[in-house]
């Protein structure tokens, strides 16, 4: 099901960015377009093409055509010019317009373009109607160049693990920007701009495939349910924060030693079982044992976090709510990219994520460590392998990169 909010209809189908008043002073949306602008001004079309080969591009498609296309079909909008030529338009991520209810953008590498640009197309225009506009022929010789550059330069891993910040058309400080910043871990990992509300992600089909493969979300109804569960912090197991909450309660009373913590967890579980008349059978006893063991697992993760500088010498993790909140921030954007959500629903979800984060944590660093512990409890199993090391790298970059949301967005908003 595709949902359309009538008040979100607009005529911003394609990018339209006027030239700067002074040619040397254009503020591009991102560093990528700034680089392309310099190459355009120096008339270095080959270097421009090499840049496209490393990053890929997006091309516009009517939504109904995108939905109806078979797996091996790649519909693409083209334009017939007055001189009889056929032109295809592609764009880099930073210049993409506000998402439209009836027009989507698909992602393609330069190598893929060599195959999917229709044969009748004579000219490929990149970033049309922007200061970094560039034109290329589409004959067989030129397509061979695209393929060669793709094989030489395209490295998917190079597009990940980086901070990308929009310089223009980002939200003003406030709940929306803060909610976008809550997804910074995943934005860093996926190489996405963290502060763009104009979400296209991996392209329409790419976003649908992503949340289908990783989340089992295949419809608007699935997205609504998953978004609510993440915002309500109900996707992660309840007992993670229950165990952490037991220590928080003990610390308020001046206690909190490991044995006291384990005993408190067990006593609370057994008291709840008596109150609810839950049978204390061997399965229940085994669960209590696992919760006592979880105390030790958390303590060992915290010790490693301190050694790696994630926590101060006496620091602890008070909640893993950030694991669901951070993913809720990205799920809101993925829902819009897949056209399961409206723009308003995305904004509402992001602002809700912002409120939840501030209700639980007091800083981005605290939020980040909660996210990391949740990710480790979910995937890592105390191996301290890539599930841990990749998010450790993200934390270090996000707490030091001058463009990081955690250095540019205050954690507590008015």
pLDDT digits (tens), the chain, 414 positions: 666 777 788 889 999 999 998 767 899 999 999 999 999 999 999 999 999 999 999 999 999 999 999 989 999 999 999 999 999 999 999 999 999 999 999 999 999 999 999 999 999 999 999 999 999 999 999 999 999 999 999 999 999 999 999 999 999 999 999 999 999 999 999 999 999 999 999 999 999 999 999 999 999 999 999 999 999 999 999 999 999 999 999 998 877 789 999 999 999 999 999 888 777 788 899 999 999 999 999 999 999 999 999 999 999 999 999 999 999 999 999 999 999 999 999 999 999 999 999 999 999 999 999 999 999 999 999 999 999 999 999 999 999 999 999 999 999 977
Same domain, 120 and 209: no
Same domain, 302 and 339: no
Same domain, 28 and 111: yes
| Max Cα–Cα distance, the chain, nearest Å | 83
Same domain, 227 and 246: no
> Could you tell me if 45 and 134 are in contact, meaning their C-beta atoms sit under 8 angstroms apart?
yes
Residue 208 belongs to some domain of the structure: yes
Q: Which residues contact 252 (CB under 8 A, 6 or more apart)?
A: none
Same domain, 358 and 381: yes
Which pair of structure tokens corresponds to residue 238? 């309840």
Residue 314 belongs to some domain of the structure: no
Residue 316 belongs to some domain of the structure: no
Same domain, 52 and 146: yes
Same domain, 222 and 245: no
Query: Which of 91, 124, 159 is the C-terminal boundary of a domain?
Result: 159
Instruction: Order across the sheet with 78-80: list the strands.
Output: 78-80, 86-90, 123-126, 134-137
* DSSP symbol at 404: S
Same domain, 132 and 42: yes
Query: Which of 99, 131, 159 is the C-terminal boundary of a domain?
Result: 159
| pTM, 2 dp | 0.95
Which pair of structure tokens corresponds to residue 317? 């993790």
Q: What is the Cα Rg of the chain in Å?
A: 25
Tell me how far CA of residue 301 lies from CA of 251, 374, 379, 381, in angstroms: 19, 11, 13, 10
Same domain, 205 and 294: no
Residue 164 belongs to some domain of the structure: no
The domain total for the chain is 3
Residue 165 belongs to some domain of the structure: no
Same domain, 18 and 34: yes
Residues of the domain holding 401: 175-235+321-408
């Amino acid at each position: 099901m595709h949902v359309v909010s009538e008040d979100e209809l607009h005529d911003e189908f394609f990018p339209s960015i006027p030239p700067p008043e002074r040619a040397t002073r254009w503020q591009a949306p991102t560093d990528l377009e700034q680089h392309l602008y310099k190459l355009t001004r120096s008339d270095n079309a080959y270097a421009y093409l090499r840049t496209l080969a490393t990053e890929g591009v997006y091309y516009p498609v009517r939504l109904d055509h995108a939905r109806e296309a078979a797996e091996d079909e790649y519909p693409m909008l083209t334009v017939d010019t007055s001189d009889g030529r056929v032109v295809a338009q592609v764009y880099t991520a930073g210049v993409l317009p506000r998402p439209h209810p009836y027009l989507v953008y698909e992602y393609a590498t330069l190598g893929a373009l060599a195959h999917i640009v229709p044969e009748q197309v004579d000219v490929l225009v990149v970033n049309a109607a922007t200061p970094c506009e560039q034109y290329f022929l589409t004959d067989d010789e030129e397509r061979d160049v695209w393929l060669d550059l793709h094989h030489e330069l395209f490295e998917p891993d190079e597009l990940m693990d980086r901070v990308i910040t929009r310089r223009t058309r980002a939200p003003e400080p406030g709940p929306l920007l803060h909610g976008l910043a809550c997804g910074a871990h995943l934005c860093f990992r996926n190489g996405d701009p963290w502060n763009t509300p104009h979400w296209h992600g991996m392209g329409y089909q790419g976003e649908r495939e992503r949340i289908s493969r990783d989340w089992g979300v295949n419809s608007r109804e699935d997205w609504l349910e998953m978004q609510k569960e993440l915002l309500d912090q109900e996707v992660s197991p309840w007992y993670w924060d229950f165990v952490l909450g037991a220590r928080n309660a003990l610390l308020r009373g001046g206690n909190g030693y490991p044995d006291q913590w384990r005993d408190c967890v067990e006593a609370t579980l057994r008291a709840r079982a008596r109150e609810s008349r839950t049978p204390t059978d061997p399965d229940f006893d085994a669960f209590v044992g696992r919760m006592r063991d979880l105390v030790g697992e958390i303590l060992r993760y915290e010790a490693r976090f301190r050694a790696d500088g994630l926590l101060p010498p006496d620091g602890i993790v008070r909640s893993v709510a950030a694991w669901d909140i951070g993913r809720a921030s990205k799920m809101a954007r993925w829902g819009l990219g897949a056209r399961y959500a409206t723009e308003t629903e995305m904004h509402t979800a992001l602002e809700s994520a912002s409120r939840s984060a501030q209700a639980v944590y007091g800083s981005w660093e605290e939020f980040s460590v909660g996210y990391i512990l949740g990710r480790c409890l979910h995937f890592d199993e105390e191996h301290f392998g890539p599930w841990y090391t990749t998010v450790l790298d993200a934390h270090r970059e996000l707490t030091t990169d001058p463009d990081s949301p955690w250095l540019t967005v205050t954690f507590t908003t008015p």
